[in-house]
């Protein structure tokens, strides 16, 4: 998989400062492909990711030797994780001095208690298993991402690696937001998984992986930057920091792994018993996955909760989307609330109006 450099740059600020625990299966310790994974890990460390490499079993020497060959800034914890809190303290010390910590798990297994406890205690954002198995599948298709709450409902006869997925979900429930199951024989697997939307492995995640949430004040600069091109192309109306700040409660963003990829707004017109769906935008690299539809349905539900009986949208660039994809009906401008009609006429935009009953 070719990693898009723009996607990498978008993820870098999010990953910087985060802690990731990478559990390396014993079967990979002597594999040539492990060098590629360690080079990926070193690249992550260079951009500010804090890393712990856990070698499955009682000996971390092979992993240490490979890390030395890659010239990683690493140090080995002199105690296996079976030594308990002393080993945790030693790993914490190494990480806090900005080195990659290498430690032996002391036992067999991918989700041993010592490794999971270490990740929980140190506040890891991700627990990554590098193994030599293929990606889990459901009905023959790879499972790229699945909420931990859905794992329990997987039928064993239609899903491979069911026990492993259950173990990953249990780790999520202990406070680790993302658990990744990766084929360590896939060259470049860490970067391909972490710096692309779909990834190449299986991610079991807390339910907030895909989330629509209210816009926060700190998000405003990112929102303005995100929609700037569409504003320049007259596809969206010009908005200022102040105008968004003063109507902060009207805006919502779609996030993937806490990265903002889209936005939408809901403007109420109480005097006309209706609300406007506006500022609908999805980043180009994330189009075609149904995120726009999800945001529209989200604000429609919000409008119903506020007691409105109709929602409308005003657009000159997304006419086909509202008409053919969302099945909004075309409306006359005269049906708009008086204040909205005045604003539209003063803008000089040749927008069309679409709406639906709620």
Q: pLDDT tens string for the chain (358 positions)? A: 445 556 666 667 778 899 999 999 999 999 999 999 999 999 999 999 999 999 999 999 999 999 998 899 999 999 999 999 999 999 999 999 999 999 999 999 999 999 999 999 999 999 999 999 888 888 888 888 888 988 988 877 778 888 999 999 999 999 999 999 999 999 889 988 988 767 889 999 986 667 899 999 999 998 888 888 777 666 677 888 999 999 999 999 998 877 888 999 999 999 999 999 999 999 887 787 788 999 999 999 999 999 999 999 999 888 999 999 999 999 999 999 999 999 999 888 889 999 999 9
CATH 3.40.630.30 residue window(s) in the chain: 211-357
Residues 6 or more apart in contact with residue 293 via CB below 8 angstroms: 325, 326
CATH of domain 211-357: 3.40.630.30
Four-residue CA torsion sign, 148, 154, 158, 161: positive
**How far, in Å, CA of 199 to CA of 163, rounded?**
21
Return the CA Rg of the chain: 24
Instruction: Delimit the CATH 3.40.1160.10 region(s) of the chain.
Output: 5-207
Quick one: CA torsion of 208, 212, 217, 218, rounded to 10 degrees?
Answer: 50
Is the whole model's pTM more than 0.85, yes or no?
no
Q: What angle do CA 84, 90, 95 make, to 5 degrees?
A: 125
Question: Which one is the CATH code of 5-207: 3.40.50.620, 3.90.1150.10, 3.40.1160.10, 3.40.50.300?
Answer: 3.40.1160.10
Cα–Cα distance for residue pair 302/270, rounded to 1 Å: 14
d(CA 86, CA 279): 53
Which residues are within 8 A (CB) of 19 and not within 5 positions of it... i.e. 6 or more apart?
A: 49, 50, 51, 52, 95, 122, 123, 124, 125
Q: Which helix (H) or strand (E) holds 274?
A: strand 274-282
């Amino acid at each position: 998989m070719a990693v898009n450099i723009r996607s990498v740059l978008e993820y870098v600020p999010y990953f910087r400062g985060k802690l990731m625990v990478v559990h390396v299966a014993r079967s990979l310790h002597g594999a040539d492909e492990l060098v590629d994974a360690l080079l990926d890990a070193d690249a992550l460390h260079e951009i500010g990711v804090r890393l712990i490499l856990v070698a499955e079993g009682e000996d971390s020497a092979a992993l240490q030797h490979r890390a030395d060959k890659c010239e990683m800034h690493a140090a080995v914890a002199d105690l296996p994780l079976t030594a308990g809190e002393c080993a945790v303290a030693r790993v914490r010390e190494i990480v806090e001095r900005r080195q990659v910590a290498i430690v032996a798990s002391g036992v067999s297994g991918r989700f041993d208690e010592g490794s999971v406890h270490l990740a929980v205690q140190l506040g890891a954002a991700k627990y990554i298993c590098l193994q030599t198995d293929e990606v889990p599948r459901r009905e023959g298709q790879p499972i790229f991402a699945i909420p931990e709450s859905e794992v329990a409902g997987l039928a064993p006869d239609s899903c491979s690696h069911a026990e492993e997925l259950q173990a990953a979900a249990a780790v999520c429930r202990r406070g680790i937001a993302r658990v990744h199951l990766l084929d360590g024989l896939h060259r470049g697997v860490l970067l391909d998984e972490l710096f692309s939307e779909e990834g190449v492995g299986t991610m079991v995640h807390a339910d907030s992986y895909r989330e629509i949430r209210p816009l926060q004040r700190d998000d405003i600069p990112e929102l303005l930057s995100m929609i700037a091109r569409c504003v320049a192309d007259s596809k969206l109306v010009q908005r200022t920091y102040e105008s968004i700040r003063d109507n902060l409660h009207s805006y919502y963003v779609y996030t993937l792994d806490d990265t903002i990829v889209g936005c939408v707004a809901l403007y109420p017109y109480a005097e006309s018993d209706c609300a406007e769906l506006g500022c609908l935008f999805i980043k180009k690299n994330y189009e075609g996955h149904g995120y726009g539809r999800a945001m529209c349905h989200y604000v429609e539900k919000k409008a119903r909760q506020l007691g409105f009986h109709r929602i409308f949208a005003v657009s000159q660039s997304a006419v086909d989307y509202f008409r053919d994809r969302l099945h909004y009906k075309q409306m006359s401008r005269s049906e708009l609330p008086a204040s909205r009609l005045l604003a539209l006429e003063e803008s000089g935009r040749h927008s069309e109006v679409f709406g639906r009953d709620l």
